[in-house]
Amino acid sequence: MDDSPQPLPADQFDALLEDDSHEEAVASLEWVATADAETRKTALRALRTGAETNPGGFKPVLSALTPFLTDEERSVRLTTAKLFVTAAETEPEAVSSLVPALAARLADEDEFYYVRARSAEALGYVALEEPDTVASPEVLADLRIGLSFDEPEVREKLAKALEYLALADQRRLRYHVSDLTRHLDDSNELVRYHLCTALVAIGCAYPDAVSERTAALADRLDDESHFVRGRAAEAFGLLARSDSAVSVPDVTRAVESDVSSNADDEGERFLRDRVRFATDASGEESTDTGSGGIGTIEGIRDRTDEVVDAITSPDGDECPHCGQSLPKAGPPICPRCGGPR
């Protein structure tokens, strides 16, 4: 009779974690790693569902999931990377020991691009809380270089990781401002938003570093996105308040292109608040930050996820398989379940 550990349904696996039966949970994962492909895929999908409802509970067994990042089945690798994203978003310190494995997936040019994208996203969440763990020269190079060559979905996560790293430790990227500004005209709105936000974060601490590369930033004042224009205006508001010898453009052009003036529109409010922040810089209280934490690291961190939701939600669709909200111009497959749109 076979008494070896067997893969458990998600609810029973969760029960083991709740009972601190970590050895049994790890033994089950080790068995799954040696099972057939269909069993591995089914088990990992169930585990990911459990991680979404109880991400903190997976902390003791995360290292046992690392082998699945190099599984021969790309769906298994993708599900594992997504699980690590879920864990890193809520328990970044629990994923910090897995940074080398995630960085290896990011660096593998032959890896499925969605796996690379999710690995970059997980690294970004860790970087937001533990920048020293992520910001090796090799990882930084992979994040920056990938902005030139990768698929749009990967570039989006690379830019997000760079933004989070800039928010956590501005000095890490102050010498790489030229690399960020070089991609401010990316076709992906989220790439432009994340990179502009990273530049604002750097400008909070090192305005001189940003003042040397303002041409591309000034072009974003005409961006089609209210949020990108708003961040560009915020950056110039910071430069105007600094001692940098830089000519600040007329940021009011960022709002002159709007035919509507809908005060209830979130994007327009975001933009107008930051244009006001920039134009007020010449006043008597020019050293003050704007209302709502505009021009501060804390203010950016508080709002950036909210802004991303606003960018991705309007005019979107729902995945017919899992109900995930999808942007109108998003990828052909659902990033959550992998099903076709």
Residue 151, number of CB atoms within 10 A of its CB: 14
Question: Residue 284: inside a domain, yes or no?
Answer: yes
Question: Residue 104: inside a domain, yes or no?
Answer: no
Contact 78, 118 (CB under 8 A): yes
Question: Residue 260: inside a domain, yes or no?
Answer: yes
Question: Residue 212: inside a domain, yes or no?
Answer: yes
Domain that holds residue 291: 205-310
Question: Residue 278: inside a domain, yes or no?
Answer: yes
Q: What is the pLDDT of residue 286?
A: 46
The length of the chain, given as a count of residues: 341
* Distance separating alpha carbons of residues 123 and 100, to the nearest angstrom: 10
Nearest to 319 by CA among 341, 287, 292: 341
Question: Residue 195: inside a domain, yes or no?
Answer: no
Contact 134, 113 (CB under 8 A): no
User: What is the value of pTM for the model shown?
Assistant: 0.83
* Distance separating alpha carbons of residues 182 and 180, to the nearest angstrom: 5
Please report, in tens digits, the pLDDT of each residue of the chain (341 residues total).
455 555 555 556 666 666 666 677 788 788 888 888 888 888 888 888 777 877 777 788 888 899 999 999 999 999 999 999 999 998 899 899 999 999 999 999 899 999 999 999 999 999 999 999 999 999 999 999 999 887 888 999 999 999 999 999 999 999 999 999 999 999 999 999 999 999 999 999 999 999 989 999 999 999 999 999 999 999 999 999 998 777 888 888 878 655 445 545 889 999 999 999 999 876 544 445 556 789 999 999 998 889 999 998 855 455 666 656 565 555 667 766 666 75
Question: Residue 171: inside a domain, yes or no?
Answer: no
Work out how many domains the chain is built from and give that number: 1
* Distance separating alpha carbons of residues 77 and 83, to the nearest angstrom: 10
Question: Residue 166: inside a domain, yes or no?
Answer: no
